[in-house]
């Protein structure tokens, strides 16, 4: 009898081949991990066991005829089979549990073990009717599946034996060790499982209880489980979809790529900023070459605009060359940033650097070399010499599993993989083995998560063999001095870099002002012939400020722009390009914005006004003033806006940053009403120390405990406390909805195509494919707005709600975006 794993149209795929391919594929994904001797056999086992339940006649009938009840489900009995094999092969207790969880959840996200484990005494009850209905139902299904497998044990054992032999061939072909147990008597092992599956299941419960009692903050079991789970689900999805994997490459002359780029891009440094960038680059290059082989955590602390991006890439490429020579396995470089708005800029630099490795300088850098991954990125995957690229489905799969040598991505993608439970996020976890992480602007991570991120990175460096490069002008107090190597130089050299430039002075007046008074003050101080950036904390205040300037100038003043997430992303991109072009031509625009321009956006204004905010945020926005040191000194004016005049006025900063951050910032700036750039280093250091002392770290502590105890989901087994699923780097604003806005003919065309190809499509697979084609363009016209502003005003028949062209004027201002006609409180970004 032939057993099948899945079908593609009318073509059926053999289950034994699928098991063997996934087993070998999972093993190959773990070869870069330091614990591979222990984990690779477990990965082989998980891959060979993950679809064992598909041997039942229930599943085979479902595959052929589309009919089947609960007994067609295959993951849970496959997990029991995996646990039985793990015990039979005497794997460590922690890995027995890991393979069980990885297999039973390989189509879903990870969940807490207590949800699935049952005490041996309950399994031996005369009747399971007294147990929880979900548990008793699951057990009865397994009992029926076991009875079904007994009736065909001979043919199932032969298929398992054949799958094991094929696995051995695949492993040998990949230069991986072949476990001896693949040659065992599979008929006997299968019979043992069918006879005593309840015993193997019950043993897991006791083993888990003992393991959980010992777990404190040791994350080894957590990282082992995520490694196995990721390797299994990625190999399974790739093979089931028939996708050929991207090939690993070593860049030609990779140690010289940044030097080649700099030789073409830059001339001999002349200005003080050019000298600063040159010195930083040379310091980083020299110190990375002198770094001890065992050094894992590096920092680059330097002023804004001093060339950290190139210096960081140089350090990462040098490390990559050194590690490749030592192990023969080129480590991936993962470059993570806080905002999608600055990814394109960094990606462009990476593209130009890697283009130096191409024979034809004008050729496209293949995606297998350099990949951009975030929700607005184009879904396209191209390998060297492949002009057409992969199909949409294949491209998405390869992109989401980070099959590239250098990945430019967001903090959300990276940290929800390191601290994660979702299937779609964890499939790329296995790509982190041995990787080099560049974390740019790390101070943007919420303070309450600093201990969590710091400890996770520390443990990941050991467990996953990572190297980490932290880059910022305002580095938080992470890691001990003995743990890090500062690539910008020793402490005196770093301090001298900040003192070498004095581009701006921050002058502060913390007298409370309403928005209309602040706008009047700006108009009084405005001088033609100067460019201005105004950064406010809330959408409401920024719209009001912009409206006051627009009304005063009546279209006869300087070029006036507005930016915030109240505007569709497509228009934000267009305006940023236009503003940058005007500034480069020497024109003098005025931009009113929220914090979307704060970090990494390469804009250079003569003067900046900002509402009160955290010191590091103020320093970041000061980096948009006199950025390239073309003037003796730029002015940054810090105001203190409140929601109403008088004693009852509340600081708008507190709506966004909370009381602790706002109070700490007020005290620091009140004590230092004039702050020059050489003072930034110490000011930020003092601020971070104050905030960290005042901020509760309980959230980080609870999440670290949840990771150690594998508490992925809440409330399992009656346990209270945080779970991994509680980690949210960006918290969703409650009661908000996304709305599609037909701002122009291009947006209207996207909406019409969405309605024609996605909304009306009943077949789920075709609907998904159709949306993937439109996804990038579709997301560029979405805005998030308070749900109560839509109530009874926009029809609810479409998902998401849409503002069509004939309602555009009522709901959407061409300059400031969605019209907030109610006082909805402070709204950030």
Q: Terminus-to-terminus CA distance in the chain, angstroms?
A: 61
Q: ∠ CA(536), CA(542), CA(544), 5° rounding?
A: 140
pLDDT tens-digit profile of 697-720?
Answer: 888 999 999 999 999 998 755 567
pLDDT at 276: 86
Structure tokens given for 199: 């015993």
Distance CA 26, CA 227 (A): 10
Over residues 199-217, the mean pLDDT reads 85
Structure tokens given for 347: 């990606």
Distance CA 32, CA 15 (A): 28
Over residues 527-553, the mean pLDDT reads 94
The CB density around residue 618, as the number of other CB atoms within 10 Å, is 29
Which residues lie below 8 Å from residue 572, measured CB to CB, with a gap of 6+?
341, 563, 565, 596
Structure tokens given for 656: 């966004």
For the chain, percent of residues with pLDDT exceeding 90: 58
pLDDT tens-digit profile of 775-799?
Answer: 889 999 999 888 777 766 676 667 7
Over residues 737-743, the mean pLDDT reads 91
pLDDT tens-digit profile of 47-86?
Answer: 999 999 999 999 999 999 888 789 999 999 999 999 999 9
Tell whether the model's pLDDT for residue 429 goes beyond 90: yes
Over residues 536-562, the mean pLDDT reads 93
Over residues 635-663, the mean pLDDT reads 87
- Please give the full DSSP string across 686-736, using - where no structure is assigned: HHHHHHHHHS--HHHHHHHHHHHTT--STTGGG--S--GGG--SSPPPTTE
**Residue 313: how many CA atoms within 13 Å on its side-chain side?**
25
Over residues 564-589, the mean pLDDT reads 92
Distance CA 213, CA 719 (A): 13
Tell whether the model's pLDDT for residue 407 goes beyond 70: yes
Please give the torsion angle defined by the CA atoms of residues 152, 156, 157 and 161, in that order, rounded to the nearest 10 degrees. Answer: 160
Over residues 555-573, the mean pLDDT reads 92
Backbone angles phi, psi at 623, to 5 degrees: -70, -10
Distance CA 108, CA 421 (A): 9
pLDDT band at 344 (very low <50, low <70, confident <90, very high): confident
pLDDT at 677: 85
Tell whether the model's pLDDT for residue 549 goes beyond 60: yes
Distance CA 324, CA 317 (A): 10
pLDDT band at 601 (very low <50, low <70, confident <90, very high): low
Query: Do 30 and 36 contact (CB within 8 A), yes or no?
Result: yes
Strands 436-440 and 812-813: unpaired
Out of 364-378, 401-415, 532-546, pick the least confident.
364-378
**Residue 73: how many CA atoms within 13 Å on its side-chain side?**
20
Distance CA 475, CA 469 (A): 12
pLDDT tens-digit profile of 84-114?
Answer: 999 999 999 999 999 999 999 999 999 999 9
pLDDT band at 821 (very low <50, low <70, confident <90, very high): low
Q: Is the model more confident about 501 or about 355?
A: 355
Out of 121-130, 325-334, 618-627, 732-741, pick the least confident.
732-741
Tell whether the model's pLDDT for residue 650 goes beyond 70: yes
pLDDT tens-digit profile of 434-471?
Answer: 999 999 988 888 888 999 999 999 999 999 999 999 99
Over residues 416-437, the mean pLDDT reads 96
Over residues 336-358, the mean pLDDT reads 86
pLDDT band at 10 (very low <50, low <70, confident <90, very high): confident
pLDDT tens-digit profile of 473-503?
Answer: 777 778 888 999 999 988 888 888 887 778 8
pLDDT at 599: 58
Tell whether the model's pLDDT for residue 825 goes beyond 50: no
Over residues 742-769, the mean pLDDT reads 90
Structure tokens given for 94: 């922690």
Tell whether the model's pLDDT for residue 674 goes beyond 60: yes
Q: Where are the beta strands (DSSP E) in 383-537?
A: 406-410, 436-440, 467-472, 484-486, 504-513, 532-535
What pTM does this model have? 0.89
pLDDT at 392: 82
Give the mean pLDDT of the chain: 89
Query: Do 310 and 258 contact (CB within 8 A), yes or no?
Result: yes
Please state the length of the chain: 829
């Amino acid at each position: 009898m032939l057993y099948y794993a899945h079908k593609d149209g009318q073509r059926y795929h053999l289950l034994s081949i699928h098991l063997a391919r996934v087993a070998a594929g999972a093993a190959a994904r773990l070869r870069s991990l330091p614990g591979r001797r222990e984990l690779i056999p477990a990965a082989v086992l998980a891959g060979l066991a993950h679809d064992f339940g598909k041997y039942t006649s229930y599943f085979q009938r479902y595959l052929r005829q589309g009919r089947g009840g609960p007994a067609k489900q295959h993951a849970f009995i496959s997990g029991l089979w995996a646990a039985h094999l793990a015990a039979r092969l005497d794997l460590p207790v922690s890995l027995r549990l890991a393979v069980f969880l990885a297999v039973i959840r390989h189509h879903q996200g990870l969940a807490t073990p207590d949800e699935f484990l049952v005490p041996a005494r309950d399994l031996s009850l005369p009747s399971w009717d007294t147990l929880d209905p979900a548990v008793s139902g699951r057990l009865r299904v397994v009992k029926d599946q076991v009875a079904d497998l007994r009736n065909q044990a001979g043919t199932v054992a032969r298929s398992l034996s054949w799958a094991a032999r094929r696995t051995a061939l695949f492993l040998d072909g990949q230069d991986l060790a072949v476990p001896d147990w693949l040659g065992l008597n599979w008929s006997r092992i299968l019979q043992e499982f069918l006879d005593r599956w309840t015993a193997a299941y019950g043993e897991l419960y006791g083993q888990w209880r003992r393991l959980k009692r010992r777990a404190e903050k040791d994350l080894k079991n957590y990282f082992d489980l995520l490694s196995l789970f990721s390797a299994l689900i990625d190999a399974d999805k790739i093979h089931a979809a028939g996708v050929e994997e991207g090939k690993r490459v070593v860049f030609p002359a990779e140690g010289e790529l940044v030097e080649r780029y700099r030789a073409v891009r830059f001339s001999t440094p002349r200005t003080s900023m050019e000298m600063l960038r040159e010195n930083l680059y040379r310091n980083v290059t020299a110190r990375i070459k002198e770094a001890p082989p065992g050094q894992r955590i590096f920092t680059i602390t330097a002023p804004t605009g001093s060339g950290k991006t190139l210096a960081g890439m140089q350090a990462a490429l040098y490390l990559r060359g050194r590690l490749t020579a030592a192990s023969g396995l080129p480590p991936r470089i993962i470059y993570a940033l806080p905002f999608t708005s600055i990814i394109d800029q960094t990606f462009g630099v990476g593209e130009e650097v890697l283009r130096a490795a191409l024979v034809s300088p004008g050729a496209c850098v293949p995606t297998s070399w350099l990949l951009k991954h975030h929700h607005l990125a184009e879904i396209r995957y191209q390998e060297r010499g492949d002009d057409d690229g992969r199909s949409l489905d294949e491209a998405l799969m390869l992109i989401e599993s980070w099959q590239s040598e250098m990945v430019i991505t967001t903090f959300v993608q990276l940290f929800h993989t390191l601290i994660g439970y979702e299937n779609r996020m964890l499939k790329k976890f296995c790509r982190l083995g041995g990787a080099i992480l560049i974390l740019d602007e790390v101070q943007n991570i919420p303070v309450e998560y600093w201990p969590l991120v710091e400890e996770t990175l520390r443990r990941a460096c050991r467990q996953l063999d990572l190297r980490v490069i932290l880059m910022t002008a305002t580095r938080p107090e992470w890691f001990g001095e003995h743990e890090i190597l500062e690539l910008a130089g020793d402490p005196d050299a770093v301090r001298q870099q900040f003192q070498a430039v004095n581009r701006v002075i921050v002058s502060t007046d913390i007298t409370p002002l309403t928005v209309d008074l602040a706008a009047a003050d700006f108009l009084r101080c405005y001088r033609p012939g100067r460019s201005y950036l105004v950064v406010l904390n809330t959408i409401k205040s920024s719209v009001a400020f912009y409206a006051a300037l627009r009304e005063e100038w009546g279209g006869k003043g300087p070029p006036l722009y507005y930016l915030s997430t109240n505007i569709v992303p497509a228009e934000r991109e267009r305006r940023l390009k236009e503003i940058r072009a005007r500034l480069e031509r020497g024109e003098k625009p005025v931009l009113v914005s929220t914090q979307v321009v704060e970090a990494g956006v390469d804009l250079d204004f003569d003067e900046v006004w900002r509402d009160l905010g955290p010191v590091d945020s103020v320093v970041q926005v000061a980096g948009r003033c006199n950025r390239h040191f073309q003037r003796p000194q730029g002015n940054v004016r810090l105001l203190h806006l409140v929601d109403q005049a008088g004693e009852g006025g509340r600081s708008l900063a507190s709506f966004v940053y909370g009381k602790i951050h706002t109070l700490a910032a007020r005290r620091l700036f009140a004590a230092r009403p004039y702050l020059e750039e050489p003072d930034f280093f110490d000011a930020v250091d003092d601020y971070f120390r104050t905030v960290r002392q005042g901020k509760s770290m309980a959230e980080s502590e609870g999440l670290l405990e949840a990771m150690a105890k594998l508490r992925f989901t809440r409330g399992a087994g009656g346990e209270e406390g945080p779970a991994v699923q509680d980690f949210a780097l960006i918290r969703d604003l409650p009661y908000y909805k996304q709305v599609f806005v037909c701002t122009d003919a291009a947006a209207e065309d996207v909406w019409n195509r969405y309605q024609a190809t996605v909304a009306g499509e009943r077949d789920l697979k075709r609907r998904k494919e159709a949306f993937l084609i439109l996804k990038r363009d579709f997301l560029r016209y979405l805005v998030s707005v308070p749900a109560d502003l839509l109530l009874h005003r926009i029809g609810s028949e479409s998902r998401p709600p849409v503002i069509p062209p004939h309602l555009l004027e009522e709901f959407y201002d061409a300059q400031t975006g969605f019209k907030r006609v109610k006082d909805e409180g402070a709204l950030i970004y």
